[in-house]
């Protein structure tokens, strides 16, 4: 069966969603190929020809082409004949990879490695790295045959790029030039009937189609920013998922807590001008469409508890039951975790959009060393010293992604931080506007103290938010010199990107907890209705007064018969019913304490894998981020 999708790599047009989709997909559903664009292929061939011409025709020193690496940069690789020179450069390339396989720790997940391989193909396809197009096809062959190199997660300092991880990626396709029949080093993951298993690359060499790497090709494979960019891409993707889900969960919380729409007024946000703030406010206001649970200044309808209390006090004063009305400032303001959602999450959204620009720029960049400009040699350009068409620079340095990753994890952590405050408000009976303590309302009121309800979900959220604070220490401010101080400032961007991915996943977990708590709270609120909000015990105290009865009836005309949630909340409540009740046979909303872990696991899994947001958008429409 042919693949449903194809990702064509041309070095110029890769974007975040395509990278994530291709990296996560099964090869049967997604084929990855090098472009057939003749101009791009010509550039790849021209840069390869330039390398071969240097080796054949001259003694010019080109770093990594006919010199050693790092602190060995001044050491020229000799050869008395052309054949000897070629063989020595092949050996140099092979030695580079096997000596740089120094990674330690747990292996990167399959999708992270696949994304790094896609990124490496894309940058080499730009035709400034001196590799053969056949080598790129070997890499696409691994991807399309679902063969993923095993790459340890520790060992990169983020400059010169991800040397150790990329060496582990590349070594599985490298033959020993002196004895090609000998063992191929490294391990790979392949699919079997129970999932994936790790086998030696040598045991499936016929599927890998390994090659003898030529001059410059080893350096082109292992000198770049692919792993830190891969990690940051997944962190960004999960952060985007989290900020969409957080808008859904915050609307649930806003309605369950009888919040106000006044703080979403576009006039307010337009004055501050930040695009993320304006967008979040617009999204939330639209999501609340159809709700009668929130105060709307545009219609003048206010069902806030304090306002109802004011009206009751007016009745009691007329009846002579009280002598004065306790002053209440109106309109009542929500606490910051509700009122400042656009300001906080809007700033986070602006940060995510900035990081996306950095990441997608890096995806389509040449980030190895040296960089070749074969057209200079072809034109005989003398503006460079001796007409050398190669520049030894630092495009492998991970600083752009390192800074972006640190920024990203702080923004993602803030999404979780403000969500935890809403969870706290939902569960605290002194703050949640007459919802039951910890959102549990057992049928037998004598058992109220026996049930903890959603109490400990807030503890878990608090623990994760605190963990995020530790993970958010910026990696990019650190540097330890390497390679005999030649590489004396490094980015540590791979650490930052790894931590950003952890923070993004943690943030999705906190949003899953808010979804559960807010959905439980909204179910309770809708069942409660508006009636209990205006103190029935006070009505019973004065019900014998005929005049009071008439006044209460007038008051009731101001209060709708039924609470109605907005479109967004109705959709997510139906989705949670499908996930928890219909698909997994759980009780929701809960009425007594239950074994709560499956609830958390189901919602978290469906949030992290993208299903929940995707299905919500299928019903509601896209949650726009710009």
Q: Find all residues with CB under 8 Å of 34, minimum gap 6, and list them.
A: 8, 9, 121, 125, 133, 136, 137, 140
Tokens (6 digits) for 470: 């530790």
Q: Find all residues with CB under 8 Å of 37, minimum gap 6, and list them.
A: 10
Contact by Cβ (8 Å): 408, 500: yes
Count CB atoms within 10 A of the CB of residue 443: 7
Rounded to an integer, what distance in angstroms lies between the CA atom of residue 471 and that of residue 478? 14
Rounded to an integer, what distance in angstroms lies between the CA atom of residue 587 and that of residue 133? 57
Active-site residue, selected from the candidate residues 63, 303, 534, 599: 63
In 517-583, which ranges are E strands? none
Per the listing, tokens 């049930």 go with: 451
Identify whether 63 is a catalytic site residue.
Answer: yes
Query: Which residues are registered as beta bridge partners of 7?
Result: 32
Strands 371-372 and 390-391: antiparallel
Count CB atoms within 10 A of the CB of residue 22: 23
Q: How far is CA 434 from CA 222, 536, 558, in A?
A: 61, 13, 20
| 474-502 core/surface letters (b: 16 or more CB in 10 A; e: else) | bbbeebeebeeeebeebbbbbbbbbbbbb
Tokens (6 digits) for 114: 């696949």
Rounded to an integer, what distance in angstroms lies between the CA atom of residue 269 and that of residue 290? 22
SS3 of 317-354: the string is: HHCCCCCCCCCCCCCCCCCHHHHCHHHHHHHHHHHHHH
Rounded to an integer, what distance in angstroms lies between the CA atom of residue 347 and that of residue 58? 56
Tokens (6 digits) for 77: 């690789």
Residues known to be catalytic? 63
């Amino acid at each position: 069966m042919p693949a449903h999708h194809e990702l064509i790599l041309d070095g110029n047009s890769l974007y975040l969603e395509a990278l994530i989709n291709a990296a996560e997909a099964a090869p049967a559903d997604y084929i990855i190929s090098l472009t057939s664009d003749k101009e791009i292929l010509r550039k790849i061939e021209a840069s390869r020809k330039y390398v071969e011409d240097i080796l054949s025709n001259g003694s010019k020193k080109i770093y990594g082409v006919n010199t050693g690496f790092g602190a060995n940069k001044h050491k020229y690789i000799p050869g008395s004949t052309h054949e000897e020179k070629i063989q020595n450069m092949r050996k140099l390339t092979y030695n580079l990879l096997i000596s740089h396989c120094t990674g330690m720790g747990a292996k990167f997940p399959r999708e992270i490695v696949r994304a790094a391989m896609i990124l490496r193909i894309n940058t080499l396809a730009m035709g400034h790295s001196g590799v053969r197009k056949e080598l790129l096809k070997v890499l696409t062959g691994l991807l399309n045959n679902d063969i993923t190199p095993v790459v340890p997660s520790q060992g990169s300092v983020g400059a010169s790029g991800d040397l150790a991880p990329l060496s582990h990626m590349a070594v599985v396709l490298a033959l020993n030039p002196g004895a090609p029949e000998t063992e191929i080093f490294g391990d790979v993951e392949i699919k079997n009937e129970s999932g994936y298993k790790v086998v030696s690359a040598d045991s499936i060499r016929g599927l890998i189609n390994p090659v003898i790497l030529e001059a410059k090709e080893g350096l082109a494979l292992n000198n770049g920013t692919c792993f830190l960019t891969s990690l940051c891409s997944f962190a960004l993707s999960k952060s985007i998922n989290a900020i969409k889900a957080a808008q859904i969960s915050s609307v649930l919380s806003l309605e369950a807590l009888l919040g106000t729409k006044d703080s979403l007024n576009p006039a307010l946000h337009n004055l501050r001008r930040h695009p993320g703030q304006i967008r979040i406010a617009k999204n939330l206001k639209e999501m609340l469409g159809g709700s009668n649970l929130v105060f709307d200044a545009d219609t003048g309808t206010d069902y806030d508890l304090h306002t109802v209390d004011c009206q009751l006090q007016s009745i009691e004063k007329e009846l002579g039951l009280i002598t004065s009305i306790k002053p209440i400032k109106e309109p009542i303001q929500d606490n910051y975790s509700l009122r400042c959602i656009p300001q906080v999450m809007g700033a986070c959204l602006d940060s995510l959009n900035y990081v996306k620009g950095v990441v997608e720029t890096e995806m389509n960049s040449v980030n190895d060393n040296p960089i070749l400009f074969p057209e200079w040699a072809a034109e005989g350009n003398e503006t460079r010293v001796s007409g050398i068409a190669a520049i030894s620079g630092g495009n492998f340095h991970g600083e752009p992604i390192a800074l972006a990753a640190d920024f990203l994890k702080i923004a993602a952590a803030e999404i979780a931080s403000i969500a935890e405050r809403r969870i706290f408000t939902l569960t605290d009976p002194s703050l949640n506007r007459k919802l039951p303590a910890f959102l549990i309302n057992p049928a037998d009121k004598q058992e109220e103290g026996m049930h903890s309800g959603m109490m400990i979900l807030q503890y878990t959220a608090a623990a994760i938010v605190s963990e995020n604070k530790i993970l958010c220490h910026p990696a990019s401010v650190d540097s330890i010199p390497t390679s005999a101080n030649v590489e004396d400032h490094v980015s540590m961007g791979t650490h930052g990107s790894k931590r950003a991915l952890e923070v993004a996943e943690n943030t999705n977990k906190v949003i899953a907890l808010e979804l559960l708590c807010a959905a439980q709270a909204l179910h309770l609120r809708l069942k409660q209705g508006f009636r209990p909000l205006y103190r029935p015990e006070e009505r019973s105290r004065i019900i014998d007064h005929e005049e009071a009865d008439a006044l209460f009836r007038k008051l009731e005309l101001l209060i709708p018969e039924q609470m109605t949630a907005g479109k967004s909340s109705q959709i997510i409540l139906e989705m949670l019913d499908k996930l928890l009740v219909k698909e997994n046979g759980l009780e929701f909303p809960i009425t007594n304490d239950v074994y709560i872990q499956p609830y958390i696991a189901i919602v978290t899994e469906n949030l992290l894998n993208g299903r929940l947001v995707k299905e919500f958008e299928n019903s509601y429409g896209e949650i726009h981020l710009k």
